[in-house]
Structure 1
Amino acid sequence: MDIQSHQRVNDILLAPLERPLLQWFAARMPLWVTPDRLTGIGLLGALSIGASYGATQWNSNFLWLANVGFFLNWFGDGLDGTLARYRRIERPKYGFFVDHTVDAIAQLAIVLGLGCSPYFTFSIACLGLIGYLLMSILVYVRTCVDGVFQISYGKIGPTEVRLLLVILNVIIYFVGSVTIALPFATISVYDFLALTVAIALILTFIISSFRYARILAKIDP
């Protein structure tokens, strides 16, 4: 499959707001701001998120710095491709490789930071990362097989996930740690949420993989 001809599916809930805003930014970026530099800003934002979550062991105010990191990550990660398309300087193969390699590093940094914070158990945070990486594998394999690069599922994409985490950070800051008693253990509400998301990602990967395999079996008997 020619990577230049893949179909990009990003049908997210916030698209009516995000796309015009990114176009507005792209039209006003000075020439010294390049897609590669924006990718670097996005990665810097992710690294600052991870470091900020880790630092909440000593001071919960670092949650606000994590929220700043989420904005930087959105700005860089969302605008790099938009700017390349706006200036008509796309490098499809290079851009695809660098963008998604950096995304993997960014998610690793964020999840490790969450696992080192006092609000999430490290093992549950890592289970969430496993779910994310499984979904990434599904997206990339499907891109190679049928030329569809599907970023969003159920109107939820990276932008919505960032916004939900920003809101969660605010809740954590003002509410603090909260536990719930389950039949088998007592865990924090945030661990319960993370575990739910991880299970949902893993189940989505398994169900979607079987569904695509059945479709491909009919196309390629």
Structure 2
Amino acid sequence: MATARREMTFLLAEPERRLLRLIAARIPPALRPNHLTALGVLAATGVGIAYTLTNHSSTWLFVASALLVVQWFGDSLDGTLARVRHIERPRYGYYLDHIVDAYSVTVIGLGLGLSPYVDLGVALGAVVLYHILAINVYLESMVFGAFKLAYGRIGPTEVRVILILANTGLALHHGGPWLPAPAVLANWGLGLITAGMLALLVARFANNLATLRKMEPRPKPQVSIRSA
């Protein structure tokens, strides 16, 4: 829900929040939150395209990393700018933000799957699981009134950092007798991350059910007494 209490427990949440507010205070008045949202969408599309173009040159991994920074700028700063200027529209922003997030994750994941580093099935599996995690967050905001986006200490910004580090490692990987091929490293790495996401989802699902059972105990069956 747009009015749900936001709980941000990401590893980088606090320094990121301070940095975003500093940047937002210096944004020219002509630049509006919707402009930043559009920038994030374009950058996410560019990331997906850059990953696909790594079929021709690994240099495109550096382009993908640069565009991930641009995508962070647009995606993370639009809401902060609205709040700093006191022009926020909670329901509008909530809806638009999560539609954009769904598109961005899908196009980046598809680009990864079309690259020479990650199998398409592995990439799409990670995308599907990411969307299930997001749906779980939306359901939690409805039933608990709290919007808890993080799973553990990992959030969208931390995922971008991991992707940039992975891009750099793959771009600089020159092979060798003791090193696996880049595609093996990338597939195993993404596979392990996906398995970790699944474990976090199962744990959170079980915890949510336990909490809901306490909030709404199973009603005892009513025994009707008929007079003779």
TM-score when scaled to structure 1? 0.92
Give the aligned length. Answer: 213
Matches within 5 A, 1:115-154: 115-154=113-152
Structure 1 position 218, deviation (Å): 1.4
Query: Equivalent residue for 1:212?
Result: 208
- Superposed CA offset, 1:49-85 (max 9, x none): 0000000001111111101110111001110110011
Query: Equivalent residue for 1:106?
Result: 104
- Superposed CA offset, 1:100-131 (max 9, x none): 00000000000000000001111111111121
Do the aligned partners of residues 200 and 130 (structure 1) sit closer, same or farther apart at CA in structure 2, a change above 3 Å counting? same
Query: Equivalent residue for 2:188?
Result: 192
Structure 1 position 11, deviation (Å): 1.6
- Superposed CA offset, 1:125-169 (max 9, x none): 111112101100110100111111112222211111101111110
Structure 1 position 23, deviation (Å): 0.7
Matches within 5 A, 1:178-189: 179=180, 188-189=184-185
Preserved contact between residue 3 and residue 90 of structure 2 (Cα < 8 Å): no
Any unmatched runs of 5+ in structure 1?
Answer: 181-186
Matches within 5 A, 1:28-47: 28-47=26-45
Do the aligned partners of residues 154 and 122 (structure 1) sit closer, same or farther apart at CA in structure 2, a change above 3 Å counting? same
Query: Equivalent residue for 1:88?
Result: 86
* Distance in structure 1 (CA, Å) of the matches to 2:132 and 2:55: 29
Query: Equivalent residue for 1:183?
Result: none
Query: Equivalent residue for 1:203?
Result: 199
Task: Give the secondary structure class of the aligned counterpart of 2:6.
Answer: strand
Task: Give the secondary structure class of the aligned counterpart of 1:149.
Answer: strand
Where do 4+ consecutive residues of structure 1 move more than 2 Å?
Answer: 176-180
TM-score when scaled to structure 2? 0.89
Preserved contact between residue 53 and residue 113 of structure 1 (Cα < 8 Å): yes
Structure 1 position 176, deviation (Å): 5.0
Any unmatched runs of 5+ in structure 2?
Answer: 218-228
Greater C-alpha Rg: 2
Code of the residue aligned with 1:91 in structure 2: it is R
Matches within 5 A, 1:163-174: 163-174=161-172
In percent, how many aligned pairs have the same letter?
36
- Superposed CA offset, 1:166-208 (max 9, x none): 111010000057537xxxxxx7011011111111112221221
Do the aligned partners of residues 176 and 44 (structure 1) sit closer, same or farther apart at CA in structure 2, a change above 3 Å counting? farther
* Distance in structure 2 (CA, Å) of the matches to 1:17 and 1:142: 26
Query: Equivalent residue for 1:184?
Result: none
* Distance in structure 1 (CA, Å) of the matches to 2:145 and 2:38: 27
* Distance in structure 2 (CA, Å) of the matches to 1:16 and 1:8: 13
Preserved contact between residue 131 and residue 199 of structure 1 (Cα < 8 Å): no
